Amino acid sequence: MRLAKVRKSEAESVRRKLFAIGGVRKDLRIVEDGESVLIPLKEEIREGIVKDLDLVIVEGSSPGRSFHRSPYEQVVESADIPADLKHLLPDRWERIGDILVLRIPKELRPFATALAAMYAEALGAKTVCEDMGKIVGPYRTPSIKVIYGRETETVHLENGIRYKLDVAKIMLSSGNVDERMRMAELDCEGETVVDMFAGMGYFTLPIAVHANADRVIACEINPLAHHYLKENAVLNGVEGKVEAFLGNNRSLPGEAFADRVVMGYVGTTHEYLPEAMRLVRPGGVVYYHETCPIDLLPQRPIERIAEAAAGREHRILRVRKVKSYGPSTVHAVVEFEVLD
Ligand SMILES: C[S@@+](CC[C@H](N)C(=O)[O-])C[C@H]1O[C@@H](n2cnc3c(N)ncnc32)[C@H](O)[C@@H]1O
């Protein structure tokens, strides 16, 4: 095989130039040889380049090296796009089960199909979706476009829980993972919990599986999310504890019976605080989510809670930031106990 024999003082600069044109064998080591360095070359390296770089070529061999490239490095290396666009290749993605969700910069859109195939191969995904932006509407529907593969239904494993969902129709925010973990850490033994915005089970499942609640009344208005909620309760062996209610949480029957009420929704959650107040028993705890401008935290949610409490005694237990939500807004959770 061919090696470029380069003076040590020039080795780094020559190595960089050869790397930039993809001329170096990465599976073999660059080794020292006296005052020189031997750089293993790919067979296909052009004679023009050898001349331009004034390389001295010798025949020889070089020891192999175990070589691990990250999925991102694999894509960068094999992507057939202009070199000056390579820095735009996404180095982050959402992985939901065996489906990948990518944000693709507009400059890379013409190459999206081929790039999606590369990401799928590098990361072992069956489908790649482009994240087109916001999560919209009362059902919190994601804006997703399939760019590789077909199937958008998957099972996502997190904290020992299996969440089955259709990623094109139902959201799963990786930014909320800490809050899902937090709900899993509660001790709800002997308790009845109401999940007012249950989706396909984001909080219902950790509360039923890990926090060991006796009963979780899981309310969801979107029939598709409700369908997955019921399926996920079975998938996780808690169908005996989860009572899935299809409809608006304003129609949930009963009052003052819930040991805990979870309000995992953002945007207009405060409009539902009176319902939470109706459902929670004296001594019960409410987990109220709100997207709030940073400079209004914690006053605004605390005032909204006080207004909905309408004189009922309560105390704020904790204010937690879940994630940032735009440049100056945060998704926060305020935990409060209703005392009477
Ligand atoms: C998508 S989840 C929130 C995401 C979740 N916190 C996470 O960890 O990713 C909110 C759910 O509330 C449901 N929803 C909205 N308004 C509702 C209402 N009035 N009654 C019941 N469910 C409602 C939506 O359909 C949606 O499935």
Alpha carbon of 261 to ligand 1 centroid (Å) = 14
CB distance 200 to 232 below 8 Å: yes
CATH number of the domain at 231, please: 3.40.50.150
- % of the chain exceeding 70 in pLDDT: 99
Residues 314 and 253 in one domain: yes
Q: Which of 96, 194, 197 to mutate to test the pocket of ligand 1 (most atoms within 8 A of CB)?
A: 197
CATH number of the domain at 85, please: 3.30.300.110
Give the residue numbers spanning the domain of 13.
2-59
Split at pLDDT 50, 70, 90, the class of 285 is very high
**What's the number of domains the chain is made of?**
3
Q: What are phi and psi of 225, to 5 degrees?
A: -65, -40
pLDDT of the residue at 67: 64
Burial class (CB in 10 A: 0-12, 13-18, 19+), 85: middle
Q: Atom 15 (ligand 1): residue with closest C-alpha?
A: 138
Alpha carbon of 84 to ligand 1 centroid (Å) = 42
Residues 286 and 323 in one domain: yes
pLDDT of the residue at 108: 97
Pick 65 or 40 by higher pLDDT.
40
As a whole number, mean pLDDT of residues 250-273 equals: 97
| SS3 call for 137 | coil
The pair of three-digit structure tokens given for residue 317, joined into one six-digit string: 């237990």
As a whole number, mean pLDDT of residues 75-83 equals: 91
Residues 108 and 181 in one domain: no
Ligand 1 contact, 197 CB (< 6 A): yes
Residue 276 confidence (pLDDT) above 70? yes
Residue 287 confidence (pLDDT) above 70? yes
Q: Give, in order, the Cα–Cα distances in Å from 268 to each of 80, 115, 264.
A: 45, 38, 11
Report the distance separating Cα 48 and Cα 57, nearest Å: 13
Give this prediction's pTM.
Answer: 0.81
